[in-house]
Amino acid sequence: MKIFILVIIMFIMTSVVHAQNAVYINQSGSGLDLDITLDGDGSSVGTSSDITALTGNNLDIDLDFIGASNTLVGDYIAAGDGDAATDELKLAITGASNTLTMNVGAGNSLTSPSIIETRTGGSGTSDYIVGSASSSGHYADIDIVLTGNTIDLDVTENSTASGSNAKITNINMDTSSNDVDLIVSHSGSGNHDTILDINGSFAGSDITVGQSGNTDSTVSMTFDGATSSDVDVTITP
């Protein structure tokens, strides 16, 4: 099954060097190493309807977008190896107005996946919805390098996990950008932890963290370069 998937992807890769191409992936199984490069404008991974499903343990997925107005939509369902330095889902975006929308752990258990996003180019959006399943813990480590202006990043912790250390969002960002809008939202039962470590210039940006629930809630933020930026933290029972 693994060889079959790799052959299909290699065949698709021969045709995605032009603009406005679409790649659909339905992957199930552990230990997959998958590299896809889209070179051109207006291409996509997923949709019709949302056909990107990456399922398995210890995956190594590398998606590269080169060009403008490309999109990624789909589901990433995986149990990571617990090592935040391992790039289990690696996204590299070069160009303006590129859009990413990923359901991370949708409909299944999610344990310590690592997402590494590198984006060069302005007017882009990244939307991660983390977890929608009951489990002992949902942990997402998201590392982002941004170069460009007017970039939006939304992370929504949406799992039904409960208990201590159940919902942890760890975002490390190195940026040389203006007007970066970052929104992190947590809700439901279980302890909530948001850790933000942002280095570099991100002047005129908006950072919003909202956590709600009747259990312990922690927000830890370290900023270096937040000139004229607005930071709002709301914690409600």
Of residues 4 and 191, more confidence is placed in 191
Q: What is the pLDDT of residue 15?
A: 42
Confidence of residue 167 (pLDDT cuts 50, 70, 90): confident
| Residue 176 structural domain | 2-236
Q: Is the dihedral of CA 8, 44, 74, 65 positive or negative?
A: positive
Confidence of residue 88 (pLDDT cuts 50, 70, 90): confident
Q: In this predicted model, what pLDDT tens digit does every residue of 109-137 receive, in sequence order?
A: 555 667 889 999 888 999 988 775 445 45
Environment class of 222 (CB within 10 Å of its CB; exposed 0-12, middle 13-18, buried 19+): exposed
Residue of 160, 208, 207 whose CA lies nearest to 188? 160
pLDDT at 206 over 90: yes
Q: What is the pLDDT of residue 231?
A: 93
- Count other C-beta atoms under 10 Å from residue 211's C-beta: 22
- Rounded Cα–Cα distance for residues 72 and 63 (Å): 9
Count how many domains the chain has: 1
32 Cβ contact list (under 8 Å, min separation 6):
2, 5, 56, 59, 60, 61
Confidence of residue 33 (pLDDT cuts 50, 70, 90): confident
Q: What is the pLDDT of residue 97?
A: 93
Of residues 21 and 48, more confidence is placed in 21
pLDDT at 234 over 90: yes
> How is the chain split among helix, strand and coil, in percent rounded to 5?
5, 55, 40
pTM: 0.80
Q: What is the pLDDT of residue 79?
A: 64
Q: Among 75-79, 83-87, 147-151, whose mean pLDDT is lowest? A: 83-87
Of residues 59 and 194, more confidence is placed in 194
- As a whole number, the mean pLDDT across the chain is 78
pLDDT at 164 over 80: no
- Average the pLDDT over 45-62 and give the result: 76
